Amino acid sequence: MLKKNSKIFLAGHNGMVGSAILRLLKKRGYKNIIIKSKKELDLTNQKKTYEFLKKNKPEYVIIAAALVGGIKKNIDLKPDFLIKNTLIASNIIHGSYLTKIQNLLFLGSSCVYPGNLKKEISENILLKGELEKSNEGYALAKIFGIKLCEYYSQYYKLNYFSLMPCNVFGPGDNYDLDTSHFLPAILKKIKLIKENRMKYLYLWGDGKALREVIYVEDLADACLFFLKKKNNPSLINIGTDIEYSIKNFAKQIMKILDVKTEIKFHKTNIKGTYRKKLDTTLSKKLGWKYKTKFSEAIIKTYELL
């Protein structure tokens, strides 16, 4: 049972998701949180990761650490995304098993599912089709982590499980226009338009691809909700009802932030899967649902940009 004095190791506390989890843990009165920067602990180093877990013996482990980026970065650094994320998952999950840690949460991504599915994606679709090529390296690493958690729970009666969120956005996101995901890129471009440093809102592709998004504070809430539960299913989708085409996301955000400009499209061969809408029947059945309105989340995020 997760208690206020439970020892919790949060891997990746400086990232967007990890920092949101850390804020929520502190807000709710959890005092015994272990965090380490990349300089203090290289999670791709097996020996150092094992030694750290053995020495500290946390009761709960949250893996929010990962090499992440938008579609272009995924394509350009596919080997890095595969090897670094696999090492992080392997070192922490196996190290936790070796040091007899009972509870572990692994954060993945909706990209682990087959690409170009028109219907909503349920958890049982994993490994039932070909991955979308642009982020295949990242997806394979995350699938490795998912299955490793599943096997350790199945064979050794551990509470190791994975949450698969849709596209996450919020404070602490990456706003580099070459490496970010689509939504923070839209926010950054709107800021440039407001500052008169950009005339039009330029989007990659044709804007027709559909995406589902979740505010990072809601994802953090889901993490704590399921950490408090015992015997979780090995894989749980975390999503929302917020799905638009990328073009319509841009229109919605411009309306929320009171920006009027023309949308133009960059001619590019960089394309992702057409749709990635998650089926959240399981998470709702288990008692969790997102809380933050899209307009509220956009305003909160933009104010901190």
Active site residues: 138
Report which secondary-structure segment, H or E, holds 107. strand 103-107
**Helix segments in 57-107, DSSP class H:** 71-76, 78-98
Tell me the sheet residues that pair with 236: 163
- The values of phi and psi at residue 79, to 5°, are -60, -40
**In this structure, what is the dihedral angle of CA atoms 249, 250, 255, 260, given to the nearest 10 degrees?**
-170
* CB 100 within 8 Å of CB 60: no
Residue closest to 263 by CA, chosen among 275, 278, 279, 250: 250
- The values of phi and psi at residue 134, to 5°, are -60, -35
Token pair in block for residue 219:
């994802």
What are the CB-based long-range contacts (under 8 Å, 24+) for 53-57? 53/9, 53/92, 53/95, 53/96, 53/98, 53/99, 53/101, 54/95, 54/98, 54/99, 56/7, 56/9, 57/7, 57/99, 57/100, 57/101
**From CA 277, how far away is CA 298, in angstroms rounded?**
20
Q: How many CB atoms lie within 10 A of CB 1?
A: 8
Token pair in block for residue 35:
């965090």
Token pair in block for residue 28:
């709710």
Q: How many CB atoms lie within 10 A of CB 76?
A: 12
The bridge status of strand 210-215 relative to strand 243-245 is antiparallel
